[in-house]
């Protein structure tokens, strides 16, 4: 098969016809079906001027009606701030992990979560907040918990049985998704592509799909035109001017990447020689 020749380690979905690309993958009810700002953010806070906060304040709510929602947009628009605030408001640890993780290496998270109201439409059995930038701390926390003598099975067993520190960043990231994400869950991911090679990114798409078919919801901040191609996903583009739903092919990420790859020499000529 074409893809397996190209990238042999991509694990294909179980069962025949698991992908029906014409279908919009839709859960019965999302665990988090919307978010809104329910109390004013202090005007003296940097949060008040953050594009995502300004727009959310003006909007009634941001609706999560699809199984997979992407938050995309320029650096600094507030994607991570919003995702983190949703995670904290939902009961996750601000630096990442499952709902019972309580480590903190630095108290750097904003207090935006205090101003958010989430509409929770169903109860998940599983959940994880995964942020590429503090994944190292999540891995350390799991190792620390396992160093405490206990009769319970080691936590690392549910992360593939090997310390996440003894695998590469990309391997451990995917091991976590493969082994720890159990379905019927809410998964909040911040730039998961940061650790992953293109073929592992495609593996992540396969895992996301299996988990969605197993009644899961994802909210993902991403810059990856590969990841945001997930069929039926809602792509919210955050900018200085607004938050709007876009087709993924209309995102700058898709358009610019495509133009670059179609003719790298021409693009490099523009970039490096200024004409």
Ligand X SMILES: Nc1ncnc2c1ncn2[C@@H]1O[C@H](COP(=O)(O)OP(=O)(O)O)[C@@H](O)[C@H]1O
The two three-digit tokens of residue 176, written as one number:
């976590």
User: How near is the Cβ of 76 to ligand X at its closest, in Å?
Assistant: 3
Q: Which of 81, 37, 82 is CA-nearest to residue 60?
A: 37
Distance CA 196, CA 131 (A): 13
Residue 78's binding partner out of ligand X, Mg ion, none, with CB under 5 to 8 Å set by partner kind = ligand X
Parallel, antiparallel, or unpaired: how do β-strands 62-63 and 126-131 relate? unpaired
Selected from 55, 66, 78, 173, the binder of ligand X by CB under 6 A is 78
User: How near is the Cβ of 28 to ligand X at its closest, in Å?
Assistant: 30
Contact between 229 and 70 (Cβ < 8 Å): no
Q: In what order do the strands lie in the sheet with 243-246?
A: 126-131, 185-190, 217-221, 68-73, 234-238, 243-246
Distance CA 3, CA 130 (A): 28
Contact between 72 and 222 (Cβ < 8 Å): yes
Distance CA 204, CA 170 (A): 11
Residue 134's binding partner out of ligand X, Mg ion, none, with CB under 5 to 8 Å set by partner kind = none
Binding site for Mg ion (CB under 5 A): 79-80
Cβ proximity to Mg ion: between 79 and 180 the closer is 79
| Binding of ligand X by 46 (CB under 6 A) | yes
Q: Which stretch binds ligand X (CB under 6 A): 73-81, 139-147, 207-215, 262-270?
A: 73-81
Distance CA 42, CA 115 (A): 10
| Binding of ligand X by 76 (CB under 6 A) | yes
User: How near is the Cβ of 84 to ligand X at its closest, in Å?
Assistant: 8
Residue 91's binding partner out of Mg ion, ligand X, none, with CB under 5 to 8 Å set by partner kind = none
Q: Which of 173, 209, 202 is CA-nearest to residue 189?
A: 173
Selected from 81, 137, 216, 224, the binder of ligand X by CB under 6 A is 81
Selected from 79, 131, 180, 200, the binder of ligand X by CB under 6 A is 79
Distance CA 241, CA 229 (A): 24
Cβ proximity to Mg ion: between 83 and 205 the closer is 83
Contact between 144 and 124 (Cβ < 8 Å): no
Across 134-205, where does the E strand assignment appear? 185-190
User: How near is the Cβ of 89 to ligand X at its closest, in Å?
Assistant: 15
Cβ proximity to ligand X: between 159 and 248 the closer is 248
Distance CA 134, CA 128 (A): 13
Q: Which stretch binds ligand X (CB under 6 A): 27-35, 74-82, 157-165, 170-178?
A: 74-82
User: How near is the Cβ of 223 to Mg ion at its closest, in Å?
Assistant: 9
Cβ proximity to ligand X: between 72 and 175 the closer is 72
| Binding of ligand X by 50 (CB under 6 A) | yes
Number of chain positions touching ligand X (CB under 6 A) = 9
Footprint on this chain of ligand X (rule: CB under 6 A): 46, 50, 75-81
């Amino acid at each position: 098969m074409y893809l397996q020749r190209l990238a042999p380690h991509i694990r294909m979905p179980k069962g025949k016809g698991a992908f029906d690309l014409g279908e919009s993958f839709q859960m019965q009810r999302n665990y988090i079906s919307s978010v809104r700002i329910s109390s004013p953010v202090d005007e003296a806070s940097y949060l008040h001027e953050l594009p995502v906060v300004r727009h959310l304040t003006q909007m009634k709510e941001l609706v999560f009606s699809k199984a997979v929602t992407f938050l995309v947009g320029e650096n600094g628009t507030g994607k991570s701030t919003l995702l983190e605030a949703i995670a904290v408001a939902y009961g996750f640890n601000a630096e990442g992990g499952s709902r019972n993780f309580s480590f903190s290496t630095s108290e750097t998270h904003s207090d935006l979560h205090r101003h958010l109201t989430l509409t929770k439409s169903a109860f998940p059995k599983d959940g994880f907040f995964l942020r590429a930038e503090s994944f190292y701390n999540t891995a350390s926390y799991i190792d620390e918990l396992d160093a405490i003598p206990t009769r319970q099975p080691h936590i690392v067993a549910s992360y593939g049985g090997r310390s996440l520190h003894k695998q590469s960043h990309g391997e451990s990231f995917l091991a976590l998704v493969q082994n720890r994400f159990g379905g019927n869950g809410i998964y909040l991911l911040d730039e998961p592509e940061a650790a992953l090679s293109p073929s592992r990114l495609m593996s992540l798409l396969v895992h996301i799909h299996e988990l969605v078919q197993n009644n899961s919801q994802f909210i993902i901040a991403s810059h990856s035109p590969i990841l945001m191609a997930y069929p039926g996903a809602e792509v919210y583009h955050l900018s200085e001017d607004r938050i709007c739903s876009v087709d993924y092919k209309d995102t700058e990420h898709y358009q610019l990447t495509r133009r670059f790859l179609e003719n790298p020499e021409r693009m490099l000529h523009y970039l490096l020689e200024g004409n």
